[in-house]
Structure 1
Amino acid sequence: MRIFVPILLSAIVLLSISCEKDKDDSRQRKFISMKLDNYIYLSENPKGIIYVPNFSDENPDNDYPRMEITGQSYNGDVITFTLATPALPFTPGVYAATQKGNSMQMVLNSMLPTSLSSNSYGNFYITITRIDNIAVEGTFSGPLYDLTGIGGPRIVKDGAFRAIITQVGQ
């Protein structure tokens, strides 16, 4: 009996330590991730900037709020989203590339240098699923086209992003 009590206490302590829940840091991770041509592209810690409108100058291109999210993969591939809205704040919802100001550009540097864009070509959608004063997250998918006109569309699948955002003037 004397040996049984210390063994039982040791087993309880060992089990309580090994069953301790790990802290879930998945919401803290900032990234852009997607599949393109059966390759997975990943950018860690992308930067998000919201540009507030500037009505004090003559430039009509900065009279609306715009958000840019930019990330770079480990291979040097650059991924950039641009979103526009008629008025602040940005809200969760679908932002189609056919609407002026909404697009995705990608510069592939890991293989042959290639520039891809979704600019007003059709079925490319960026969806903001959650946004607050600190971070934005969402999904995206659709065709990207080579800016040189070589080849057909390249389909982006399973795109997701989460970034820290800051607000600046234009």
Structure 2
Amino acid sequence: MRILITALLSAITLLSISCGKDKKDDSLQRRFISMKLDNKIYLSESPKGTIYVPNLTDENPDNDYPKMELTGQTYGGDQVSFTLATAALPFKAGVYAATKKGNSMLMMLASTYTTLTSEGSTDFYITITRIDNVTVEGTFTGTLKETTGAGGPRAVRDGNFRAIITQVSQ
């Protein structure tokens, strides 16, 4: 009986010690761009996000509106880049369609030397789900095509991103 009580108390003590520790959730600290393209998963860790403030003092019309760029590189050397545009700062949570000027995705596949773009796609959307002064996160989905026109449309599914953003002038 004594052995049973000792074993039971030891088990309770061990369980209370192991269950009492709170694990810190670091998942919100992770920065990434991830997606499925043709049933292959692509992951870019620690992408860079930059918001460009408009420059109305020069003659260049391409920098007269705020734009955001997110860029990353996968472990395989593939390049992923998003560009978003808005009429005025700050950027807000919402849907940014590739049919609007300034919104696009570009991906360069290192293994096949192929460049894919959302240009001309009517179903490619980038959605900002949360944005503040430090981070931006969201989703994206739609169809990409090769810039050379070869090959058919390529479906992007389950696209997600989270990046630290900085603001600079153009």
Q: TM-score range by the shorter chain?
A: over 0.9
| Contiguous gaps of at least 5 residues in structure 1 | none
| Match in the other structure for 1:108 | 109
User: Which amino acid in 1 is paired with 2:80?
Assistant: I
- How many residues align? The count is 169
| Match in the other structure for 2:121 | 121
Report the Cα distance in structure 1 between the residues aligned to 2:127 and 2:86, rounded to whole angstroms.
13
2:165 aligned with 1:161: no
TM-score by length of 1: 0.94
User: Which amino acid in 1 is paired with 2:114?
Assistant: T
Q: Secondary structure at the match of 1:27?
A: helix
Report the Cα distance in structure 2 between the residues aligned to 1:13 and 1:117, rounded to whole angstroms.
59
**CA distances 1:52-100 after superposition (whole Å, capped 9, x unpaired):** 0011111110010000000100000000000000000000000000000
User: Which amino acid in 1 is paired with 2:153?
Assistant: P
Report the Cα distance in structure 2 between the residues aligned to 1:54 and 1:6, rounded to whole angstroms.
75
CA contact (8 A) 1:100 1:120 kept: no
User: Which amino acid in 1 is paired with 2:31?
Assistant: K
Q: Secondary structure at the match of 1:34?
A: strand
| Match in the other structure for 2:29 | 28
Counting aligned pairs with the same residue, the percent is: 70
CA-CA distance at 1:5 after TM superposition: 6.5
| Match in the other structure for 1:138 | 138
| Match in the other structure for 1:152 | 152
Q: Secondary structure at the match of 1:133?
A: coil
| Contiguous gaps of at least 5 residues in structure 2 | none
**CA distances 1:100-154 after superposition (whole Å, capped 9, x unpaired):** 0000000000x21100000132110000000000100000000000001101100
User: Which amino acid in 1 is paired with 2:12?
Assistant: I
| Match in the other structure for 2:83 | 82
TM-score by length of 2: 0.94
CA-CA distance at 1:3 after TM superposition: 6.1
2:54 aligned with 1:45: no
User: Which amino acid in 2 is paired with 1:85?
Assistant: T
Q: Secondary structure at the match of 1:166?
A: strand
CA-CA distance at 1:29 after TM superposition: 0.6
Query: In terms of mean alpha carbon deviation, does 20-29 or 93-102 score higher?
Result: 20-29
Q: Secondary structure at the match of 2:25?
A: coil
Report the Cα distance in structure 2 between the residues aligned to 1:162 and 1:76, rounded to whole angstroms.
19
